[in-house]
Amino acid sequence: MRTSIATVSLSGDLRSKLEAIAAAGFDGVEIFETDLLTFEGQARDVRRLCEDLGLEIVTLQPFRDFEGLPEPLRSRAFSRAERKFDLLQELGTDLFFVCSNVSPHSLGGLERIAEDLYELGERARQRGLRVGYEALAWGRHIHDYRDAWEVVRRANHPAVGLILDTFHIFCKNLELSTLRRIPGEKIYLVQVADAPALEMGALPWSRHFRNFPGQGQFPLRQFMAALRETGYGGYLSLEVFNDQFRTAPPKETALDGYRSLVYLQEDEPPKIRTSGVAFVEFAVSEQMAPVLGDFLKGLGFRKTGQHRSKEGVSLWQQGQIHLILNAEAGSFAQAYNQLHGTSVCAVGLEVADLPAVLRRAQTYKASLFLGPTGPNEHQIPALRGPEGILIYLLEPPADYRQFWSVDFVLEEGLPLQAGLERVDHLAQVMPTTQVPSWVLFYRTILGLEASNLLDIPDPAGLIQSQAVENADRSLRLVLNTSQGGGTLASRFLSESHGGVQHIAFSTRDIFTTLENLLAAGVRLLPIPPNYYDDLEARYGLDPELLQRLRRLNILYDQSPEGEFFHAYTQTFDDLFFIEIVERRGYNDYGAVNAPVRIAAQSRLIRS
């Protein structure tokens, strides 16, 4: 199917929108009427601009409050339509887009509406135009695509067809069996939008929270399967109303839109298998490298390797966790450090089929990074990730020690100390406008699935949090953002320019691990006593267990699947912090405890 997007989906003026749409690779564009009215030229100038950019104008939309009106409103509606016909012809498009009536003056009745559409279709046919009819979810009489199809069927005119919009279908949980029986030639346009699962009215949900396919929770693959059965072969067009998109650069948003349609048209996306985090790389200055090293020693990490050709690069290990400290002058890490301070500049992810992932990255126009490779170095491809972080991709080696020995001179016989075993998850902070984009990135290229968006209270506002995970949860990433200027996430974004704010390491015995950390001088985040009083009331925990939790500043949560224990270090150099987690069948992130943790961190910052 050919691809299109409505100009209302992007920020900017009409010219910049059209240029962004063409650059992204779309075949066509829906011109939103407001964009045309505010354009500095005339309709024929828009037509010429689209022709120069290689874009077909699919339609001008919307035309509202037309059908089912009493006189004299009915005659006025037809007069309005005739004037719009003139405009369509000047634009060089043939599809007249009619939304179902929301006016209180509309009288309704399927036969009455069908008669109006027949007459409109006859007038359109005489001018070489077609009429497409769409059911708005909040339409006064027609608010279901099945009723809209019945009206089109009764109109029985060769120039009258149906327009479908996935938002209007799925916001009302409508079934798709009727869609499968609609002849493809009677479907004139298909608009697609995804959305998060929200409990609110259809109109505000539509006007503010639509997003691109792959960024929400609608079952769009089911819709596409039903649509294919109709034989439809026309445009697949994005119509997205989203407050974040309206403030984001149009070229980035348009490119995400194009990627989403590529993703949506895959019959069955290939199973991309990932198996966790291979390594985490820190960008650190020469002065801060020893300080970070001491911090890691307290956590039980030991330096196990020195790079063979780069004096400023070292390898640290514990369990299956591999950390790289990069203080090498002139490197990507040093450039990252100058902007972000001591921070995670890269992560390595394990993928089962590296060539397949790289092909998907190319298909979805991801930015590939291939840095300079010196002697005794692996050449590991990377993708640009959130806030400039590098995401290295590698197939897990049979023997990691042998793998690291290529780049590093390894030391022998160093014991593990604190009981940390794996990277449980990484939490990234980014601008609000970028969260949907990176959800789409992780879903389309790495096959991760997204959770619902959570609102987490912060003393200075709200933090929005969304997780992306692989099927067995061996790879978990948390995407955090906030529009409140004083929240913990916002401060990290403004002062450190975003990126990875915290790393969670897993252990099988959090009590022993934390005892080891305390003995090594690690400062844990102090949790207020009131939390444990409430914990006792909520869960009725054994008094001895509760006392151990209190003494070690451990937070606790339960789910039907199991229990979750987690604790936090204090922030390293006011930049990032470490979370220690023990999961006993529990699959979430302890979001119920996040306000307690954030408030405790905020108190330390103030003090």
Q: What are residue 227's phi and psi, to 5 degrees? A: -65, -40
Q: Is 580 exposed, middle or buried (0-12, 13-18, 19+ CB in 10 A)?
A: buried
Q: Which two tokens stand for residue 259?
A: 């990627």
On the question of a cis peptide bond just before residue 543, with omega within 30 degrees of 0, the verdict is no
Q: How confident is the model at residue 262 (pLDDT cuts 50, 70, 90)?
A: very high
CA atoms of 508 and 291, how far apart (whole Å): 28
> Stretch 246-274: mean pLDDT, rounded?
91
Residue 98: band (very low, low, confident or very high) from pLDDT cuts 50, 70, 90: very high
Beta strands in 401-460 (DSSP E): 408-410, 420-429, 449-450, 454-458
Q: Could you give phi then psi for residue 397, rounded to 5 degrees?
A: -70, 155
DSSP letter for 607, please.
Answer: -
CATH superfamily, region 420-606: 2,3-Dihydroxybiphenyl 1,2-Dioxygenase, domain 1 (3.10.180.10)
Q: Which of 32, 3, 380 is nearest to 17 (CA)?
A: 32
With a CB cutoff of 8 Å and minimum separation 6, the contacts of 385 are 347, 391, 438, 441
CATH code of domain 2-264: 3.20.20.150
Query: Which pLDDT value is given to residue 559?
Result: 94
Q: What is the pLDDT of residue 417?
A: 78
Dihedral, 302, 572, 290, 401 alpha carbons, nearest 10: 30
Burial tier of 275 (Cβ tally within 10 Å: 0-12, 13-18, 19+) = middle
> pLDDT by residue (tens digit) across 421-436?
999 999 999 999 899 9
* Identical fold between 2-264 and 274-410: no
Find the distance separating the first CA and the last CA of the chain, reported in whole Å: 59
Residue length of the chain: 607
For 267-320, what is each residue's pLDDT tens digit? 777 789 999 999 999 999 999 999 999 999 999 999 999 999 999 999 999 999
Mean pLDDT for the chain? Answer: 94
Q: Is 112 in contact with 71 (CB distance < 8 Å)?
A: no
Domain residue extents for the chain: 2-264, 274-410, 420-606
Helix (H, G, I), strand (E, B) or coil at 452: coil
- Which neighbouring-strand residues pair with 423? 505
**Residues ≥6 apart with Cβ < 8 Å to 234:** 1, 2, 187, 188, 189, 190
Angle at which helices 529-539 and 543-551 pack, to 10 degrees?
Answer: 150
Confidence of residue 371 (pLDDT cuts 50, 70, 90): confident
pLDDT of residue 416: 61
- Amino acid 414: pLDDT: 66
Q: At what angle do helices 14-24 and 250-264 cross, to 10 degrees?
A: 40
274-410 domain in CATH 1.10.1740.10?
A: no
Task: Count CB-CB contacts under 10 A for residue 205.
Answer: 19
DSSP annotation string for 303-324: EEEEESS-TTEEEEEETTEEEE
Mean pLDDT, to the nearest integer, of 80-102?
96
Q: Which residues, in sequence order, are bridge partners of residue 235?
A: 2
Give the amino acid at 492: F
CB of 396 closer than 8 Å to CB of 278? yes
**How many whole angstroms separate alpha carbon 420 and alpha carbon 580?**
8
Sign of CA dihedral 63, 67, 69, 73: positive
Contact 591, 455 (CB under 8 A): no
Task: Classify 330 in phi/psi space as left (phi over 0), alpha (psi -120 to 50) or beta.
Answer: left
Q: What integer pLDDT is reported at residue 260 of this predicted model?
A: 95
